[in-house]
Amino acid sequence: MNAEADALLNGKPESIGDLFDWRVATTPDDEAFRYPDSSDGWVSLTWAQTRERVRELGAGLLTLSVGQAERVAIASTTRLEWILADLAVNVIGAATTTIYPNTAPDDFQYIVNHSASKVLIAENADQAAKLDGSDASVDFVVLIDGEGDGEHTLSWQQLIERGRQKLAEQPDCVEQAREGVGFDSLATLIYTSGTTGRPKGVELVQSNWMSVGYGVEELQIIDADDVQYLWLPLSHVFGKCLIGIQLVIGFTSAVDGRIDRIVPNLKHVQPTFMCGAPRIFEKVRATVLSMGATGLKGTISRWAFTVGRQSRPYRLENRPMPLLLKVQYRLADRLVFSRLRETMGGKMRFMVSGSAKLNAKVQGWFYSAGLVIIEGYGLTETTAVSFVNVPAHPRFGTVGQVLPGTEVKIADDGEVLLRGPAIMTGYHNAPDLTAEALVDGWFHTGDIGHLDGDNNLTLTDRKKDLMKTSGGKYVAPQKVEGALVAAMPFVSQAVAVGEGRKYISALLTLDADNAKRWAAHNGLADASYADIVASPAAHEAVQNFIDRANQGLQRWERVKKFTILPQEFSVDEGEVTPSMKIRRSQIAEKYADEIDAMYDKEDIDE
């Protein structure tokens, strides 16, 4: 490690289990977690109460013969029990294998077997059934929801009861189990849902999570009085890293992974910060825009966002606004922006976007309304956080500066290379893949980017995703797709195509709710989703939006033709990964006829 990294971890707890005990001892009576009960009321847990539950679960796992660094797989949506189970694995020195709950049975079985997980903690019988017919290595299955047989399959409560009995017989069994676990001990296996081939198991050790937690603490952007709204998939490295950061800083997390409960929950929880993928912020913006306010209300809203856009340079640079603009912004805030902030709970200090590139237009729209979205960057292999903006002075279009303790350099071909304590030890049982990714200690991210004079990183594309048109121009599909989604309030997904073609085209899917909302304002109130997709009015509207998006693109990047598909891309159809990343090759193969139809026959035959 470098000197900065050494200083970051010097004198700190050497495992997540030790860090958890330190947090409990430091603030035992502070609120740790908030979670919904069966009637959607909110229940709180202090750190001391959390420790009691975690130790019972940890002791329960010891009765199932789980040893140090041995794997316990968790397949569940985001909920309090996921966090308790993960911490229980940590406090006995074992390692968690995370599995997306929407993982198909074939990949599910592969992950369980490849990781050699001894126990599967499944949300319900449907998740556990994904092991049916396999030669899975698990000795026990624990159901968070559902009844067990008390032998091979245990209920959540049965695991707790076994733990209580173990603790009564051996009160210090949890601490004894963790003896000898240190920075280099395996903590987690996270399988990256690759866009091609089998997922790869990323080995993350104790120091990986610790360095990210203490690195974020150094930035002083979050403090112990903050309240986080946590809905991200905990099976994803972005969601899971938030647990480690919380252990270091000590803030409260309100936990509920149900997407349809985000907006109503924000009003009740009133969080001060929230992390999310770009899609959730795009969807909030698209919902507001698709409401299509008309008359005086619509005029006021459009005027307000025009004023907000004019105010941005002054506010970003911390310069005083001209008097007239200052008065106009105050009025716009009172009439429009304050209502949007109330929808987000009214106390939101900032939001963090990660896991994919955030469109600057979306970021600017929220900033106009006084809602700051900072963008960060990292990968599973870098424990989620490698770069992050600071809310006090965000740099739109960049992912900020490198996290304390991490080093960065840009290769000759523009690839971003990273080194430091947050970098994985390697891919599980895949030395060849590890050797390709880690060269002389530097992790090759596969992302193309550049640093500005202040060392803020701007990402342009994935190295392997660049398209080359028949005219020899390179096009970054993510740039085109981001411009399209930002410009079209009822478009859900966009895939740019054009490799070897004369021009760029796009496959589009519509967000059903926003499409119907748009239709209601455009003479199609009773139309079905299929009728909306096929309607000339929708195609005309999409063309107008594409024309607008094209204005911000280079000539060779502009979309000349498009096709609206009858349904959104799905995991079940193999079109997106469990983390909703586009599988470009599969989509290109499945929709080859639709793609060919957007090009002249002469172009296809070339």
pLDDT of 604 higher than 80? no
Backbone angles phi, psi at 323, to 5 degrees: -55, -50
Residue 521: how many CB atoms within 10 A of its CB? 13
Give the pLDDT confidence score for residue 479 in this predicted structure. Answer: 87
* Common-topology check for domains 14-259 and 467-605: no
Which region among 319-323, 352-356, 357-361, 401-405 has the lowest average model confidence (pLDDT)?
357-361
CATH topology of domain 276-346+348-462: Rossmann fold (3.40.50)
Which residues sit opposite 426 in a β-bridge?
Answer: 203
pLDDT of 325 higher than 60? yes
pLDDT of 489 higher than 90? no
For the chain, the domains span 14-259, 276-346+348-462, 467-605
Sequence-ordered list of residues with C-beta below 8 angstroms from that of 457, at least 6 positions apart, any chain: 377, 387, 398, 399, 400, 401, 402, 408, 416, 449, 450, 451
- Confidence label for 600 from pLDDT (cuts 50, 70 and 90): confident
Give the pLDDT confidence score for residue 606 in this predicted structure. Answer: 38
Express each pLDDT in 494-526 by its tens digit: 999 998 899 999 999 988 888 888 888 888 888
Q: What is the CATH code of the structural domain delimited by 467-605?
A: 3.30.300.30
Residue that the structure tokens 């000795």 belong to: 139
pLDDT of 249 higher than 70? yes
pTM equals 0.87
**Architecture of the domain made up of 14-259:** 3-Layer(aba) Sandwich (3.40)
Q: What is the percent of the chain where pLDDT is above 70?
A: 97
Express each pLDDT in 341-392 by its tens digit: 999 999 999 999 988 788 888 899 999 999 999 999 999 999 999 999 999 9
Residue 152, judged by CB atoms within 10 A of its CB (0-12, 13-18, 19+), counts as exposed
β-strands 415-419, 407-410 pairing: antiparallel
